[in-house]
Structure 1
């Protein structure tokens, strides 16, 4: 004859207690660990730049050299610019290894400006002693010939270069005509 024990409550309580103690121990180890990020010393090569004049509508490629002088990698967490016309190029990496130099590529679109333009670029990351790195550049944007097109004309040229499919389907804004509301006609009668 076999005896089957149907009351495993003691064994079950011991197993649950063991799992709870194991979970408590793992939590204590994780909480006690310090996740300290290593701070680095980074400098920008030529932080103040003066570019030669460009014609309005041209794009200016800006390559910024960052030199990491520390034994830890520099992790760029954010790059802010003073204008939406300065855009980070795709494919630019965001970590500069220890004791090395990295490059960040940006593009400046001069469509919206004429004259002397001055823009700032800020780099944020695991920096030592400072909260951000700052660089700035200036460039003279000169109009093309004697006629200075406004922003809308430059935008129209860009759209036409891309084929102007939307305008071929929908028509130009100034060629759409007008519409009449039925409510307005009923009120007049």
Structure 2
């Protein structure tokens, strides 16, 4: 007599399905939990600075020192400046470790200013009791005593110091030719050819 064995595959499929359902439930609970970032106490050393006078066209290097006094890292989400002439150097600091000091490097380009200049730097991140850190600096930008070049002359000097590569590729501003807008009549376009 042949014995008929029941196939246990349906039972094992059900058990695997239950395990998979449990795993997905745990995963969904972990993902749905709201992550609370730890807030930190950070301060800027010397937030108000007065730099010595510089000549127009010179660059001023600014180093902002951040002290993190908490037990968690300070994660910088954004650095904003009050002017496009204050630029954060590439590869800027993104995290200040717990109980340590970090530095943000910036460059101020004085080409566009003469006289007393006052600018602000705002640092955003996971701060406790405030929404941003603020640094303020001022500097006197002094023009050349013999001649005060305008912005265009300073720009041309900067381009020529970089080797004039942009002008070699794109041409000078006064030799770029002209264009005809699509609103012009076709008769005028044929005459220009």
**TM-score, normalising length from structure 1?**
0.83
Change (3 A) 1:54 1:97: same
1:63, distance to aligned residue in structure 2 (A): 0.8
Counterpart residue number, 2:41: 41
**Can you give the 5+ residue segments of structure 1 that lack an aligned partner in the other structure?**
none
Counterpart residue number, 2:66: 66
In the alignment, does 2:17 pair up with 1:16? yes
Counterpart residue number, 1:184: 188
**TM-score, normalising length from structure 2?**
0.81
Counterpart residue number, 1:146: 146
Question: 1:29 & 1:185 partners in 2: Cα distance?
Answer: 66
Question: 2:70 & 2:176 partners in 1: Cα distance?
Answer: 62
Counterpart residue number, 2:112: 112
1:130, distance to aligned residue in structure 2 (A): 0.4
Question: 2:168 & 2:31 partners in 1: Cα distance?
Answer: 62
Question: 1:102 & 1:179 partners in 2: Cα distance?
Answer: 51
| RMSD (Å), alpha carbons | 2.8
Question: 1:174 & 1:37 partners in 2: Cα distance?
Answer: 55
Question: 2:69 & 2:50 partners in 1: Cα distance?
Answer: 26
Change (3 A) 1:166 1:66: closer
